[in-house]
Structure 1
Amino acid sequence: MAREVQMVENGGSVAQNEVQVVDAEVDDDGRPKRTGTVSTASAHIITAVIGSGVLSLAWATAQLGWFVGPGSLVIFSAITFYTSNLLADCYRTGDPVMGKRNYSYVEAVKSSLGKKQVWLCLICQYTNLYGTSVGYTITAAISAGAMHKSLCLRRRTHAADCKISDSRYMIAFGILQIFMSQLPKFHDLWIVSILAAVMSFSYSSIVVGLSIARVVSGGIKRTTLTGTQVGVDLDASQKIWLVLQALGNIAFAYSFSLILVEIQDTLKSTPPENKTMKKAVLISLSITTAFYLLCGCLGYAAFGNSVAGNILTGFGPYEPLWLVNFAHACIIAHLVGAYQVFSQPIFSMVESSLARWYPNLIASKSLEISNKFKIKLNFFMIVWRTIFVVTTTVLAIVMPFFNDIVGFLGAVGFWPMTVYFPIEMYIKSRQIRVLSAKWIWLQSLSVVCLIVSVASVCASVQGIAKSLKSYSPFESLS
């Protein structure tokens, strides 16, 4: 590694104790020089945020109406922006400019709040990762089923009975993931991130474009200021439950706090990382929220109070077939890779933990096929990762309820990861006095978000329980 040595002269002689060694290729922690900027951080955040959560925003807007729907999107965005700024100040422990770096969200929690809080953080994190894997299985199967149905209807005329169970597509998705889960460090491949970004922007943009086309062509459906109407679309109790579910769906669209510390760790230290990160969060959330408002409002205008839970399935076979199916294909391609991105951290956690206690259990063994051909197999990884994929697939088959699951995941993950931990870390690192005005404000925000999250979880569980009463795996058709 090249080093640049500066000799400081003192009265014509070189003072050895004043020799300064400046490493031009490493940062203050000895790691390679970080080069991230506002632009790169903004791009990372936008890529991470805009995903399958966008598909439910029109449905959420329909439940909340023209006033509360867009307002909720803006409020969730504002809360996320505020707490992300708090989190940005916790990237370094102690001093936000010169303190010790934290390389991950969990490490930041450990440095600020101690080991006990780390366990809560890990439970929330891995529960969210596992649940998201289930949700991705459901979403991919819905898109595959929608493609099959649209092609069937177009081929056999619109009156044909082309209903199909999504369970078979979940099984196919699971089988594919069993094989992909055995690929070493698949989630680290650069092509996965690029594919995810291209695919998510593609299908999200198609949703916006098709909604605009439908509205412009005069296809505006019945909409109201308060959304779905009691006595017309549903009864009062259903309205309350669905409003709370809708809030969970919106929360899911903003669930990206887990990656913010990792993104901040890519930024160069001049200007200070926390200032750069705050600018990046402002830019990315502004763009994302504007895009979400387009998806939610245009989708609601296009389909009205009867908008489908997954808006893309509402376009059906009567829109440009190739474009709708291309969007579904983009969703599937995105989720095939995204499943691994979310499941690999769980694989790594389990396997690295067991490696410390039972190193022989997860050791790879050579299998000799012939004198010239040998392969290394890790039987524990094969069995354990297969079991993981099977369980997520089974849960998806048993509970293939898109909006209920998305609402549940959003509600479970939003409060602890986006609100609670950033606030608690900020209070601890800044030593904010208990019962001071700032402390009361932060705790009040946390409590309000907790209440909303708990209510949304209850609504999602109620929705799942209600749907299970009329659903039979492999028999119920869509």
Structure 2
Amino acid sequence: MGSAQKMVAPMEVSVEAGNIDQSLWLDDDGRPRRTGTFWTASAHIITAVIGSGVLSLAWAIAQLGWIAGPSVMLLFAVVIYYTSTLLAECYRTGDPVNGKRNYTYMDAVRSNLGGAKVTFCGVIQYANLVGVAIGYTIASSISMRAIRRAGCFHVNGHVDPCRSSSNPYMILFGAVQIVFSQIPDFDQIWWLSIVAAVMSFTYSGIGLSLGIAQTVSNGGIQGSLTGISVGVGISSTQKVWRSLQAFGDIAFAYSFSNILIEIQDTIRAPPPSEAKVMKSATRLSVATTTVFYMLCGCMGYAAFGDAAPDNLLTGFGFYEPFWLLDVANVAIVVHLVGAYQVFCQPIFAFVERWASRRWPHSGFIARELKVGPFALSLFRLTWRSAFVCVTTVVAMLLPFFGNVVGLLGAVSFWPLTVYFPVEMYIAQRKVPRGSARWFSLKTLSVCCLVVSIAAAAGSIADVIDALKVYRPFSG
């Protein structure tokens, strides 16, 4: 109780101060009361996890086959759920109810590990988030262009290449993101995350339905137990690289640890504890994600076998009904608008906290005009708009950057999803060195490191292939 009083005292909440009513609207750290719930946290996670990458899982399973593909997917689901529960315990340092809050992933690493590991975490986390923002810009333009191509194929037939540039669509996506980026923080984009989550179910459901229809039309299930065969069109070396890349695709498809702490910081104060709510939200989200991943990936492979396209809806595994493809691709774009914001909010918050500490009395930074969900300030308008513009230009400059994002995902999977959660949990719970639990956690970390290295190797090979035909602004 005494520690609670020490935390309240610096806020000067008293009758004499004339602000006792304000304490009803503040949390134990003096910040505005958080309003997030199990449902909003689940929506944030689902928005972050079920990206348009779900539509490439049929290709990933095609590389691994009916045995390894679903098995690897389930294995990653179990590992990521487990390490996420470890990371959720690190939101507060010490007591799980009254301990000091860690607002970001870096804060959690700083409180539990410290030293150079904080810098290492920051570099990996924010490089990954920037890469995701660029990748989502490219992915949205591909879906927008697919809408135009679907109509063109419907009118002119499938022999017409129906080519068009994706650059105008990237610019349009960037313009929309400049508007939404003015929403100040995570806690106020809950509605956008819910809309995005609904959209993810929409296009995943359409992809699943089309896969079932194609399987029925084929008169049976396509594919093999071991995936694509070495032979005409694929060498044994390519088989290895593709299999490793499939591991990276599946690992990256599940990753959301880089924003878990930031999502947890939106949850209302105990009881129950934020960690308990976050674990429940993670359990629901990972289970939901796994069901959709298994259904979409497996049905896509069942429909097309070794010829499964890298994207069921934009790779034109299906051509008709074209209007249903349009609905699915519109849903992808709307989802990516929300997902972009979910992943970029930690970057925005990091830069703005640094600027506020660096120039605490600057009106350019502090002065705000609130309009609905938006909080407009010159600094926020300037810097967030500049960030969106830079990611858009880079996406236009490197249209194959989606391959690089896969590499970033492979590189960041081990440190952010496994290594730091394990190390922080060991430090916080004081797990005895050499104990069975310590040995098990360390073994998990080493095994995931090997997977990350292998997936990175496959992604590097893919990037090298893309560089052979690279032309700037060729989208």
Q: TM-score, normalised on structure 1?
A: 0.82
Alpha-carbon distance in 1 for matches of 2:425, 2:30: 26
Is the contact between residue 65 and residue 225 of structure 1 (CA under 8 Å) also seen in structure 2? Answer: yes
Task: Specify the code of the residue in structure 2 equivalent to 1:332.
Answer: V
Alpha-carbon distance in 2 for matches of 1:55, 1:48: 15
Residues 383 and 331 of structure 1, relative CA distance in 2, 3 Å threshold = same
Alpha-carbon distance in 1 for matches of 2:389, 2:311: 24
Q: Using the aligned pairs only, state the percent identity.
A: 53
- Unaligned regions of 5+ residues in structure 2, if any? 1-22, 368-375
Is the contact between residue 135 and residue 396 of structure 1 (CA under 8 Å) also seen in structure 2? Answer: yes
- Give the alignment of 1:4-43 within 5 angstroms: 41-43=41-43
Question: Partner residue of 1:281?
Answer: 282
1:156 shift after superposition: 2.0
Q: Does 2:133 align with 1:133?
A: yes
Alpha-carbon distance in 2 for matches of 1:29, 1:58: 46
- Give the alignment of 1:232-251 within 5 angstroms: 232-251=232-251
Residues 270 and 347 of structure 1, relative CA distance in 2, 3 Å threshold = closer
Question: Partner residue of 1:350?
Answer: 351
1:104 shift after superposition: 3.2
1:473 shift after superposition: 3.9
Task: Specify the code of the residue in structure 2 equivalent to 1:391.
Answer: V
Question: Partner residue of 1:469?
Answer: 468
Question: Partner residue of 1:308?
Answer: 309
The secondary structure found in structure 1 opposite 2:160 is coil
Residues 268 and 217 of structure 1, relative CA distance in 2, 3 Å threshold = farther
Question: Partner residue of 2:447?
Answer: 448
- Give the alignment of 1:295-374 within 5 angstroms: 295-315=296-316, 318-357=319-358, 363=364
Is the contact between residue 109 and residue 421 of structure 1 (CA under 8 Å) also seen in structure 2? Answer: yes
Residues 129 and 208 of structure 1, relative CA distance in 2, 3 Å threshold = same
Q: Does 2:293 align with 1:260?
A: no
Alpha-carbon distance in 1 for matches of 2:337, 2:360: 31
Residues 279 and 359 of structure 1, relative CA distance in 2, 3 Å threshold = closer
Moved more, 220-229 or 275-284: 275-284
Is the contact between residue 312 and residue 318 of structure 2 (CA under 8 Å) also seen in structure 1? Answer: no
The secondary structure found in structure 2 opposite 1:311 is coil
Alpha-carbon distance in 1 for matches of 2:452, 2:366: 47
Per-residue CA deviations over 1:59-95 (Å, capped at 9, x if unaligned) read: 1111111111101110101111211221232233224
1:381 shift after superposition: 5.9
Is the contact between residue 128 and residue 408 of structure 2 (CA under 8 Å) also seen in structure 1? Answer: yes
Is the contact between residue 309 and residue 403 of structure 1 (CA under 8 Å) also seen in structure 2? Answer: no
Question: Partner residue of 1:69?
Answer: 69
- Give the alignment of 1:55-94 within 5 angstroms: 55-94=55-94
Is the contact between residue 207 and residue 313 of structure 2 (CA under 8 Å) also seen in structure 1? Answer: yes
Question: Partner residue of 1:156?
Answer: 156
Alpha-carbon distance in 2 for matches of 1:35, 1:179: 24
Question: Partner residue of 2:226?
Answer: 226
Task: Specify the code of the residue in structure 1 equivalent to 2:250.
Answer: I
Question: Partner residue of 1:416?
Answer: 415
Alpha-carbon distance in 2 for matches of 1:385, 1:276: 31
- Unaligned regions of 5+ residues in structure 1, if any? 1-22, 367-375
Task: Specify the code of the residue in structure 1 equivalent to 2:254.
Answer: Y
Per-residue CA deviations over 1:324-363 (Å, capped at 9, x if unaligned) read: 1111111112223432343343344334434544679882
Alpha-carbon distance in 1 for matches of 2:179, 2:443: 47
- Give the alignment of 1:77-226 within 5 angstroms: 77-97=77-97, 99-178=99-178, 181=181, 183=182, 185=184, 188-218=188-218, 222-226=222-226
Is the contact between residue 150 and residue 316 of structure 1 (CA under 8 Å) also seen in structure 2? Answer: no
Alpha-carbon distance in 1 for matches of 2:282, 2:178: 36
Is the contact between residue 167 and residue 474 of structure 1 (CA under 8 Å) also seen in structure 2? Answer: yes
Alpha-carbon distance in 2 for matches of 1:352, 1:263: 17
Moved more, 252-261 or 99-108: 99-108
Alpha-carbon distance in 1 for matches of 2:113, 2:220: 51
Residues 391 and 238 of structure 1, relative CA distance in 2, 3 Å threshold = farther
Residues 437 and 395 of structure 1, relative CA distance in 2, 3 Å threshold = same
Per-residue CA deviations over 1:292-313 (Å, capped at 9, x if unaligned) read: 1111101111121111112212
Question: Partner residue of 2:370?
Answer: none
Query: Which of the two has higher C-alpha Rg?
Result: 1
Alpha-carbon distance in 1 for matches of 2:83, 2:345: 27
Alpha-carbon distance in 1 for matches of 2:165, 2:452: 32
Residues 175 and 455 of structure 1, relative CA distance in 2, 3 Å threshold = same
Question: Partner residue of 2:13?
Answer: none
